[in-house]
Chain A
Amino acid sequence: MMRAVRIFAVLVLIFLVSPILVIFPLSFSSGEVLTLPTPGWSLRWFQDFFLNERWLLATKHSVIVGLATMVVATVLGTLAAFGLYLSDFRGKKVVMAVLSLPMVVPVIVTASSMYVAFSVVGLTNSLTGLVIAHTIIAAPYVVITVLAAVQTFDMTLMRAALSLGANPVRAFIEVVMPMIMPGIVAGAVFAFATSFDELVIAIFLTGPEQFTLPRQMFAGLREMLSPTIAAAAVVMIGFSVVLLLITEYARTRGERLKQRAAGE
């Protein structure tokens, strides 16, 4: 019985990774069509990607928007998380609910509503508008991760620092920050990833001049299916894996810190 369940799980895991694994050989194919087995190997599609101005521009846009979103969402989200942790007022529940709305409303509704509203104030077809939109959908995740980190933080450590003569600001910077930093890093990386991967809002808010990498891929898919798309996908996978590694590093570091704090 347990054996059957294990085999089933392995099959599900294979299902989860296989499409990603299939993309790789296709992107290194020397053939014109996306088929396996590949006729031979080459880097021509990556060359195509990296020499094509549209793809490069899209990549640049994605990185710019991703970084801007990351900075704004992390700053605002971290501040809000601290605010939520510190305060206890009537209506706090309502505030929390409002802050988490962008996570539960279907993206398509968000995107179409933002498109209409942003066009009134001239924020469509602009990277600024896209950064604002991405910040709004990414910041709630920052709030959650940072709040979780702050809540597990043992406030007696802060008191200990104060009792040892640190002023509150020093105590915060030297004791609190290092402990919750992994939470903030995780939130920041997640914000970048959210923006970097986002397509639906980009469809609504960007014109060809502002295309991001996913938007360019989506356009490419509709025009003509060339192996350059597979190369672009591999580039995006590369970004994602790097981000995953950063998060895992931050997470294990955070756990180590917490364990050390617990004296284990």
Chain B
Amino acid sequence: MTRNSKAGLALIAPLLVLILAGFVLPIASTALKAFDNPEVSAALPRTTVALGQWDGAAPLPDAVPDAFVADLQDAMGNRAFGQMTRRLNFEESGMRSLFFKARRAAPGLERPYAQALAEVDPEWGRIETWQMLKTHSNPYTASYVLRSLDLRMEPDGTIVKVEPEQAIFVDLFIRTFAISIWVTVIAVLLGYPTAYVLSTLKGRMESLALLCVLVPFWISILVRSTAWFIILQREGPINAALQFAGLIGEPQAIIFTRPAVYIAMVHVLLPFFILPLLSVMKRIRADYVRAAASLGARPWQQFLLVYLPMTMPGVAAGALMVFMLSVGFYVTPALVGGLRDQMVSYYIAYFTNTTINLGMAAALSLLLLVMTGVLVAVAGKLMPGMGGKQGARS
């Protein structure tokens, strides 16, 4: 390594360390959290050991209920127990009360415990209950990720679909990507001609038009979403104007609908598409299109065969930007969309802040990251000009 490189590395180090510690580490721990399963082993350490020695087949060895009752007696009033019941209840409803019932009864139980527990609740007499406990005594679990795909694991290890009323996440992902793709497509359709016209302007007109793109670009996403929130209200200016003009009798519900989400998101993200495309278009001299014309290309051929391919790197860069931002959008759909218009981000926030189910939040985050990455990579393969090696020359 040269002296320059050492000095250079020393200059990079502070930021690199900050990003590694404050960003890469948290994200990595999120990725681990999606599989982390500490609750059962923390609350029931002896049971965990006993379950580990059991092969999972009937009959249940006595060591397991013995250890379980011992753990229950220690678990009086400790937090780990509560966390475990919540964790298991997430897997199968009814678990919470089942465990609390057992804990309440634990001090008065007599051997053989297997039978005594079954008398507290017949569920304890079923082998599946213990199999489930065994599954979740494992320090790692796939169940969060499975649940994020509307799947779950049966006590015997087979993977099945969750009940239809709980199956919301596949739809959620489809909706998230569908909304993002549509927003990207609309942004491309609106932004391309606009960027083109902007690239042909000169002097005052150029500054004015550019300002119309730059001002929204610089104004906070929240402020712009708020503007749409206000404008699209039932009592808002649009309804008022339409009523005033006599076009509608009753105010129409625009806010909290899918179109409202599209309008606001496209508005927020359009500058992110126009600006990179504009810089590419500005660098393409008129000569190329002229050359095409002189070689016999008709106007539509000049556009389709020369101008469009040459601006493709800008389209790809802008579209990628819009897509990546919209996949993670939270504020705008939260403000102007209804519950059925929310995206994955809404549920990540919900699981992190409201129900504090960090495993689910982590699994959704992980899947969002992975799916976005895969989609972007696939788009990179399919879209021309994204490789960068044939970019327009200045």
Chain A residues within 8 Å of B, Cβ to Cβ: 1, 5-6, 8-9, 12-17, 19-20, 22-23, 26, 33-37, 76-77, 79-80, 82-89, 95, 98-99, 101-102, 104-118, 132-133, 135-136, 139, 143, 193, 196-197, 199-200, 203-204, 214, 217-218, 221, 225, 229-230, 233, 236-237, 240-241, 243-244, 247-248
Ordered by A's residue number, 21 sampled pairs between the chains whose C-beta atoms are within 8 Å are A5-B197, A13-B209, A16-B271, A17-B212, A22-B227, A26-B230, A35-B237, A82-B8, A83-B9, A89-B8, A99-B16, A101-B19, A108-B368, A113-B29, A116-B26, A116-B29, A197-B219, A199-B222, A217-B226, A218-B331, A236-B219
Q: Are B27 and A36 in contact (CB under 8 A)?
A: no
Whether, in the assembled complex, B353 has its beta carbon less than 8 Å from a beta carbon of chain A, the answer is yes
- Chain A residue nearest in CB terms to B207: A248
- Chain A residue nearest in CB terms to B17: A76
Q: Are A112 and B365 in contact (CB under 8 A)?
A: yes
Q: Are B193 and A9 in contact (CB under 8 A)?
A: yes
Chain A residue contacts of B190, Cβ below 8 A: 12, 15
Q: Are A89 and B9 in contact (CB under 8 A)?
A: yes
Known: A86-B7, A113-B29, A225-B230. A132 touches B368 (CB 8 A): no
Known: A12-B191, A17-B215. A233 touches B11 (CB 8 A): no
Stretch at the interface among B85-93, B115-123, B344-352: B344-352
Chain B residue contacts of A14, Cβ below 8 A: 212
Chain B residues within 8 Å of A, Cβ to Cβ: 1-2, 4-16, 18-20, 22-27, 29-30, 33, 190-191, 193-194, 196-198, 209, 212-216, 218-224, 226-231, 233, 235-237, 240-241, 267, 270-271, 299, 324, 327-331, 335, 344-345, 348-349, 352-353, 358, 361-362, 365, 368-369, 372
Chain B residue contacts of A20, Cβ below 8 A: 215-216, 219, 224, 227
Q: Are B218 and A104 in contact (CB under 8 A)?
A: no
Q: Are B216 and A16 in contact (CB under 8 A)?
A: yes
Q: How far is the CA of A193 from the CA of B362 in the complex (A)?
A: 29
Q: Are A112 and B235 in contact (CB under 8 A)?
A: no
> How many Cβ-Cβ contacts under 8 Å join chain A to chain B?
263
Q: Are A218 and B25 in contact (CB under 8 A)?
A: no
- Chain B residue nearest in CB terms to A215: B222
Q: Are A105 and B369 in contact (CB under 8 A)?
A: yes
Q: Are A79 and B14 in contact (CB under 8 A)?
A: yes
- Closest chain A CB from B309 CB (angstroms): 19
- Closest chain A CB from B366 CB (angstroms): 8
Q: Are A237 and B267 in contact (CB under 8 A)?
A: no
Q: Are A117 and B12 in contact (CB under 8 A)?
A: no
Q: Are B1 and A114 in contact (CB under 8 A)?
A: no
CB-based closest 8 A-B pairs: A106-B328, A87-B8, A83-B11, A197-B220, A117-B26, A83-B12, A9-B197, A19-B227
Having A23-B226, A109-B27, A229-B230, one finds 9 other A-B pairs with CB under 8 Å, namely A16-B270, A86-B11, A87-B5, A87-B7, A106-B328, A110-B23, A116-B29, A116-B33, A229-B226
Q: Are A117 and B236 in contact (CB under 8 A)?
A: no
Q: How far is the CA of A177 from the CA of B174 in the complex (A)?
A: 50
Q: How far is the CA of A147 from the CA of B4 in the complex (A)?
A: 16
Chain A residue contacts of B7, Cβ below 8 A: 83, 86-87
Chain B residue contacts of A85, Cβ below 8 A: 8
- Chain B residue nearest in CB terms to A114: B26
Chain B residue contacts of A221, Cβ below 8 A: 226, 229, 335
- Closest chain A CB from B237 CB (angstroms): 4
- Chain A residue nearest in CB terms to B240: A35
